[in-house]
Amino acid sequence: MEIFSIITILTILSALFAYINTKFLKLPFTIGLMIIAMLFTLVILILGYFESAVLEQSKTLIQSIDFKTVLLEIMLSFLLFAGALHTKLDELAKQRGPIMLFATFGVLLSTFLIGTLFYFLAELIAHPIAYIYCLLFGALISPTDPIAVLGILKEANAPKKLEIKIVGESLFNDGVGVVVFLVLLSIAQRGIASVEAEEVGLLFFEEVFGGLALGLVLGWLAFKLMKSIDHYETEVLLTLALVMGLYALASYLHFSGPLAVVVAGILIGNKSPETAWSSVTQNYVDKFWELIDVFLNAILFVLIGLELLIITINTEYILLGLLAIPIALVSRYLALSGPIILFRKKLEFIPKTGLLMTWGGIRGGISIALALSLEPIMERELFLTVTYVIVVFSIIIQGLSIGPLVKKILSKTPQ
């Protein structure tokens, strides 16, 4: 099927599902879209029992969409920039210590905790899996998804101190998580004996620090260009060119594109309103990126719901997915505990920060995209199903309950 036809179908479905949610369900935007998409998929599966052509055509459509490429190489850069653009640097700077530890040490520790626990879980149900493949699963499920987190926290009314930690962590930890995943994937493909520690360190340094530096340099250049003119059409185009060019250049140089885009977005969003943009330009830039954010979020969460069509529905896989939910949650809580204890007194964390950050750490499309990039020999079908179960639980159950949980905990806190 042609790319324009696929985009047209997804846009029509997204608009229809958004209308149904807005008119009847009134759930948070992204959660409502995904739930309706999943219900729509279940209807297709039921119809498929009576008319197999309907199911086959639907599966063909979803299989023709390279979810990994669409998300990681096309949509992610725009969504990250849109989120970073409205992240206040002064608030982020105050929490930079714990955020950086959450996004680095936290991701690494969570990767090994989840991988190790899942390895023993698989052994327990007599489905042994190579440890390196379990670590790959730990790496792809550890990062919280900035797309899901940003969309859901907007409606959760979380305190600013908590929100900036979760959002700040999610903006940076996906880039780190992808690097960790790529390192482990290289080890899994080539064998641990052929991968040297220096090579791993160099790859990590190049991806992370290269991405940060590139984002700063090109973000500053774009800022200077916008500062030299006052023409909102051109300035909107410059932000669009920055995101597309920056992500493409980062990929070419083997730097982290997500980290580069986040840094550029934070720089542009905090420097430009003060000195580079007129009020008219700021209004147009904000509205443009808000619309991009809404449109791509709608497409993404509808796609996540429709991915149910190609997930292997296997009792053992589903069971492993359900058992992996508490493993992922406990591992995240433990991985966050060190930085929270270290900075608790200095930054006056709100009560139960560890619990709230654990429950507010939503997994999303990035985890599914990474699971799809596994090779068949790496238990891809199993890990894809397990990942999908965790993502659905995370977005629907955690996403719908994080707001009430925040209110409940804060209501019990002495003022």
Share of the chain above pLDDT 90, in %: 71
Domain final position from 46, 63, 80: 63
Domain shared by 171 and 282, yes or no: yes
Considering the domain architecture, whether residues 133 and 56 belong to the same structural domain is answered as: no
Both 31 and 144 in a single domain?
no
> Within this chain, do residues 11 and 72 fall inside the same structural domain, yes or no?
no
Together in a domain, 341 and 192: yes
Range of the domain at 370: 67-411
Query: What is the arithmetic mean of pLDDT over 110-135?
Result: 96
Tell whether 48 and 72 lie within a shared domain.
Answer: no
Average pLDDT for 96-117: 95
* pLDDT at position 151: 67
115 and 25: one domain?
no
Tell me what pLDDT residue 44 has: 95
Which own/partner contact pairs does 249-255 have at CB distance under 8 Å and 24+ positions apart?
249/214, 249/218, 250/210, 250/211, 250/214, 250/215, 251/73, 253/210, 253/214, 254/206, 254/207, 254/210, 255/206, 255/207, 255/210, 255/211, 255/214
**Rounded to an integer, what distance in angstroms lies between the CA atom of residue 243 and that of residue 240?**
5
The pLDDT tens digits for 203-235 are 788 888 999 999 999 999 999 999 999 999 999
Q: Is the domain of 45 the same as that of 157? A: no
- Shared-domain flag, residues 37 and 73: no
Q: Which long-range contacts (CB under 8 A, 24 or more apart) does 31-36 make?
A: 31/152, 31/301, 31/395, 31/396, 31/399, 31/400, 33/298, 33/301, 33/302, 33/305, 34/301, 34/302, 34/304, 34/305, 34/392, 34/395, 34/396, 35/305, 35/396, 36/305
> 57 and 71: one domain?
no
Q: Is residue 117 domain-shared with residue 209, that is, in the same domain?
A: yes
CA-closest candidate to residue 309, choices 44, 36, 30: 44
Q: Which two tokens stand for residue 322?
A: 């359900």
Same domain membership, residue 235 and residue 210: yes
- Report residue 160's pLDDT band, with 50, 70 and 90 as the boundaries: confident
**Of 114-128, 161-175, 224-238, minimum mean pLDDT range:** 161-175
Task: Return the CATH number at 75.
Answer: 1.20.1530.20
Contact 217, 266 (CB under 8 A): no
State the Cα–Cα distance between residues 41 and 56, nearest whole angstrom.
Answer: 12
* pLDDT surpassing 90 at residue 320: yes
pLDDT above 60: residue 371: yes
Q: How many domains does the chain have?
A: 2
pLDDT at 201 over 70: yes
User: Which of 146-155, 175-184, 225-234, 404-413 is the least confident region?
Assistant: 146-155
pLDDT at position 199 is 74
Who wins on pLDDT, 317 or 405? Answer: 317
Helix or strand (DSSP H, E) at 338 = helix 315-347
Task: Write the pLDDT tens digit of every residue in 3-42.
Answer: 899 999 999 999 999 999 999 999 989 899 999 999 999 9
Closest CA to 96 of 347, 314, 328: 347
What whole-number distance in Å separates Cα of residue 143 and Cα of residue 92?
A: 19
Q: Please, what is the average pLDDT of the chain?
A: 91
> Does 415 have pLDDT greater than 60?
no
Q: pLDDT of 338-360, one tens digit each?
A: 999 999 878 778 889 999 999 98
pLDDT value of residue 116:
98
Please, what is the Cα angle at 374 between 371 and 379, to 5 degrees? 90
